[in-house]
Structure 1
Amino acid sequence: MTTTEKTAADWIAAAQDVAAKLAVDAVERDRRNATPYEEVRLLKEAGLVTLLGPPEHGGGGQTWETAYRVTREIARADGSIGQLLGYHYLWAWAARLVATDEQIAAVEELYTRNNFFFGGAVNPRDSDLTVTEDGDELVYNGHKSFSTGSRVSDLTVLEGVLDGTGDHIFAIVPSGQEGIVFHDDWDNIGQRLTESGSVTITDVRVPWASAAGYVDRKFRPLTYNTLNVPAIQLVFTNFYLGIAQGALAAGLEYTRDRTRPWPYGGDDKESATEEWYILDGYGDLQAKLWAAEALTDKAGAAISRVLHAPRADLTPEVRGELAVLIAAAKQRVIETGLEIGTKIFELTGARASASKHGLDRFWRNLRTHSLHDPVAYKRREVGVYALRGELPEPTWYT
C-alpha cells in the first residue's frame, strides 16, 4: 500500500505498531535518558513524520484530526516521543500558519521529500531572539531556555524580533549548523527524552525572502496566523491523554497479572479482579478517561476542519470558540491523567511501586509537561466564556 492510499485508520494502526516497539523497553530508555535517535528513526521509517505532508511529495496528505490521534497512540507507550512527534507536526505546519503560498510550497516539499524532523526554539517566556538586517539577509542571535527536539531535529523553527521594531519574524533553518549550539541540559523528572534543553543562536543567517509571511519586508496578518497556540495546546492535550491511557492500561495489566487480593477485609475474594474497591476504582477512572477522550476528540475534529479550510475564512469568533473548547479539554485531561497516575498505585498494591515496573513514569511525564502554562488560566478562560460569554484574546498561551 502506498502512502497516498492509506486511510486514517491505516495511519493510526501504523502508530500503534511503532508504539508497541517503544513499549518494550520504555522503562529502561526513560532511565538511560539518552538522545532518542533510534526512536525518531522508527517514526521516520513508519512514515509518521510526513503524515501531514503533501501527497505529491510523498507525504500522507492526512488531516490534523489524524495527526492528533497518532500523537496520542505514540504517547501511550512513551510520553516523550509522543511530545516530540506532536511538536514536530505543529512546526511542520508553521509555514501554513504564517507564510506565503510560495514559502509554504517550498517548506513542505523540503521536509516531506527529505523526511525531515522539526524542532523549535520559540519559548515566549524568554527574551526574544534579536533579528538584525544585513542587506538581503536577516541575522538571528540570542538564547532560549527550551528547544524541544534539539539534537534529533533536522530543521529548527526560529522566532525573533526585528531590531528597532516590534515585528516578530519566524524562519525555518537547518539544525546542523555552527551557529546553533544545543546545550544538552534538559534534566527534569519527566518527559526526559524530549531533548528540550537550552540553545544558543549565534549569527544564524536567513534570506529576507524566507521570512515567513513577509512580502516586500511587510507582514500581512490573518486571524489564521493565531491558530498556532490552540493547535499546540491540543497537541499537549493529546499526548497528555496518551500518557493517561498508557497509565490506566499499565495499571489494569498489573492488577490482572500480579495484584493479590486483600485477605483481611471481611469479604475475602479469590482474585484481586473480584475486589469491590478495585472494581470501583478502575470503573471510576475508566469513566473519567472516556469522558476526557470524547471531549478531546470533539476538539480535534473542530480545529482540524478550520486548519484545513481556506486561511482567509477564519473569523476571530470561531478562533475564540476553538480556544475555549481546547482549554476545556486540556484541563479535563490533566486532572484525569494526574488522578490515574497516582490512583493506580492504590489499585495495584505496594509491590507495584518497585522501580523495575516504572509505573511512576506516567505521573512524572504528565506532571512535568502540564506545568508548561498554569491550568488555572485554562479553567478561567472557560469560566469567563460560560459566565460572561467572552472569548479569549489571542496571546502566546491562549
Structure 2
Amino acid sequence: MDAAGWIDRARQVADILAADAVERDRAGAAPRTEVGLLKASGLVTLLGPTQHGGGGQTWDTAYRVIREVARGDGSIGQLLGYHYLWAWAARLVATEEQISAVEELATSTNAFFGGAVNPRDADLTIHDEGDTLVYNGRKSFSTGGVISDLTVLEGVIEGSETHVFAIVPTEQQGIRFAHDWDNLGQRLTESGSVEIKDVRVDWASAAGFVDKQFQPLVYNTLNVPAIQLVFANFYLGIAQGALERAAAYTRENSRAWPYGGDDKGRATEEWYILEGYGELQSKLWADEALLDAVGAEISEVLHAPREQLTERRRGEIAVRIAAAKARIVDDGLDVATKVFELTGARASASAVGLDIFWRNLRTHSLHDPVPYKRREVGRYALLGEIPEPTWYT
C-alpha cells in the first residue's frame, strides 16, 4: 500500500472513532478496543520493516496518519503518535544489531509501545549488577503504558551521569500503574503514573551501548523535535475535527438570527457565519501547509544514514518545528473556541460534544510552555542561533 492508501485507512479509522468519541470520553475506560482497532488496521506497524509485515512507510506519512486519527479522537491520535516515537527509540539510540532485533520483535508481534520517560521527574535509578541493570523509581506520566505491550525505560546509573534507555515487556510485576489519570482532556491516553521496581535488563539490551560504552551521535537528539511535531500534528487533527463537527452542526441545526436587520432564511446564509468559517479554515490550511513542509524535512533526516546529521541541520529543523507547534496551538485553540460562536447556544449542550476538542487541545498544549518555542524561533530569526538540544528542545 502506498502513502495515500495508508492515509485513507487512517481516515476510515478516524470516522469509526468519531462516531462515539464523546461517549467513550465520558466513560473513561482504558482504550483497549481502540488500540485493537489501530492494530487491526495495520497502522501500529506503519513504520515497521516490510520483511516483518510492516508498512515500510516514512515519518512524513506517519505524521499525516497521526493527524487523521486525531481528527476522530484526539486521545487515540496522541497514543498512536507516542507509539511511533517510542517504536523508533531503538533507531534513535541503539546499535544496528539492537535496532534489527527490536524492529523484528515489535513489527512481527504487532506490539504497541508506551514510555516511562518524563524528564520533569527525577530519573529512574539504575543499579549495575555486572551483566544486569536494575531499574527503580517513579514517573508521574506514562502515556499509553496501561495498554502497551512494550515500555521504554530511561534512567541513570547510580554514581554516574550515564543515561540508559531500554525496551522491556510491560506485563511484569516490576511495572505497576497507578491508574490515576484524571485530567480535563485527552482522557483516554492512560497518561497516569507508574512505579518501576526492580525491573531487570541485560547490559546487552542497553540501547546504544557496546562494552558498557555509549557512542553519541547528533541523531540521538532527534527524539525531541520528532515528538514535538507529533504534538503539532495531533493538535491540527483535533482542530480539524472541531471545525468539521461544528460545520455539520451549523448545516443541520443552527438557526439564522432574526433580529439583526439583515434577516436570512438559514444560518448557512448568514454573512458573519460564512466569514467565521472562512477565517478558521484559512488558518488551518496554512497550519497544514507548514506542518507538511517541516514533516518532509525531518522525515528526510530520520530516514537518512544516522552519521550524516549535523548539529546545525538538527537545530534548523527544531526551530521550524517550534514555529509550527506555536502556530497550531494558537490557531487550534482559536478554532476550538470560536466554533461555539458559529454554532449557537444550543451547540453548548453536553450531548453535542463540541467541548471535547477544546478540552483535548487545551490539556496537551500545556505539555511545555509555548512562549519558549517562540523564543527559540526569535533567537534564530534575529541572531541565527539554533537551540541547544535538551529534553524539550
Task: Give 1:150 shift.
Answer: 1.3
C-alpha separation in 2, matches of 1:291 and 1:13: 21
C-alpha separation in 1, matches of 2:130 and 2:333: 52
C-alpha separation in 2, matches of 1:336 and 1:251: 16
Describe the superposition over 1:246-286 as per-residue Cα deviations: whole angstroms up to 9, x where unpaired. Answer: 00111111111110000000000011011011111111111
C-alpha separation in 2, matches of 1:150 and 1:107: 18
Name which of 55, 74, 85 aligns with 1:60: 55
- Report the 3-state secondary structure (helix = DSSP H, G, I; strand = E; otherwise coil) of the residue aligned with 2:237: helix
* Corresponding residue for residue 369 of structure 2: 374
C-alpha separation in 2, matches of 1:151 and 1:125: 20
Describe the superposition over 1:336-387 as per-residue Cα deviations: whole angstroms up to 9, x where unpaired. Answer: 0000011000000000000001100000000000000000000100011111
Give me the TM-score of the superposition, normalised by structure 2.
Answer: 1.00
1:200 aligns with 2:195: yes
Task: Give 1:17 shift.
Answer: 1.2
Describe the superposition over 1:218-243 as per-residue Cα deviations: whole angstroms up to 9, x where unpaired. Answer: 10000000000000000000000100
C-alpha separation in 2, matches of 1:227 and 1:104: 16
Task: Give 1:151 shift.
Answer: 1.2
Amino acid of the structure 2 residue aligned with 1:169? V
Name which of 65, 71, 93 aligns with 2:66: 71
Amino acid of the structure 1 residue aligned with 2:371? A
Amino acid of the structure 1 residue aligned with 2:196? I
Name which of 214, 234, 253 aligns with 1:239: 234
Name which of 80, 83, 86 aligns with 1:88: 83
Task: Give 1:135 shift.
Answer: 2.1
Describe the superposition over 1:133-164 as per-residue Cα deviations: whole angstroms up to 9, x where unpaired. Answer: 11200000000000000111000000000111
Amino acid of the structure 2 residue aligned with 1:295? L
* Corresponding residue for residue 188 of structure 1: 183
Runs of 4+ residues deviating >2 angstroms: none
* Corresponding residue for residue 254 of structure 1: 249
Amino acid of the structure 2 residue aligned with 1:42? L
* Corresponding residue for residue 168 of structure 1: 163
C-alpha separation in 2, matches of 1:18 and 1:281: 29
* Corresponding residue for residue 135 of structure 2: 140
Aligned pairs for 1:270-281 within 5 A: 270-281=265-276
C-alpha separation in 1, matches of 2:43 and 2:251: 33
Describe the superposition over 1:1-55 as per-residue Cα deviations: whole angstroms up to 9, x where unpaired. Answer: xxxxx00011011111111111111110000010000000000000000000001
Describe the superposition over 1:199-227 as per-residue Cα deviations: whole angstroms up to 9, x where unpaired. Answer: 00000000000000001101000000000
* Corresponding residue for residue 308 of structure 1: 303
Aligned CA RMSD, in angstroms, stands at 0.4
Amino acid of the structure 2 residue aligned with 1:18? V
Amino acid of the structure 2 residue aligned with 1:179? G
Percent identical residues: 73
How many correspondences in the alignment? 393
Name which of 265, 275, 299 aligns with 2:294: 299
Describe the superposition over 1:155-213 as per-residue Cα deviations: whole angstroms up to 9, x where unpaired. Answer: 00000001110010000000000000011000001000000000000000000000000
Amino acid of the structure 1 residue aligned with 2:289? A
- Report the 3-state secondary structure (helix = DSSP H, G, I; strand = E; otherwise coil) of the residue aligned with 2:164: strand
C-alpha separation in 2, matches of 1:77 and 1:55: 27
C-alpha separation in 1, matches of 2:239 and 2:294: 18
- Report the 3-state secondary structure (helix = DSSP H, G, I; strand = E; otherwise coil) of the residue aligned with 2:351: helix
Amino acid of the structure 2 residue aligned with 1:223? V
* Corresponding residue for residue 41 of structure 1: 36
Name which of 4, 11, 14 aligns with 1:9: 4
* Corresponding residue for residue 341 of structure 1: 336
Aligned pairs for 1:124-139 within 5 A: 124-139=119-134
- Report the 3-state secondary structure (helix = DSSP H, G, I; strand = E; otherwise coil) of the residue aligned with 1:9: helix
C-alpha separation in 2, matches of 1:93 and 1:65: 14
* Corresponding residue for residue 3 of structure 1: none
Name which of 19, 23, 26 aligns with 2:21: 26
Task: Give 1:324 shift.
Answer: 0.4
C-alpha separation in 1, matches of 2:235 and 2:366: 12
* Corresponding residue for residue 386 of structure 1: 381
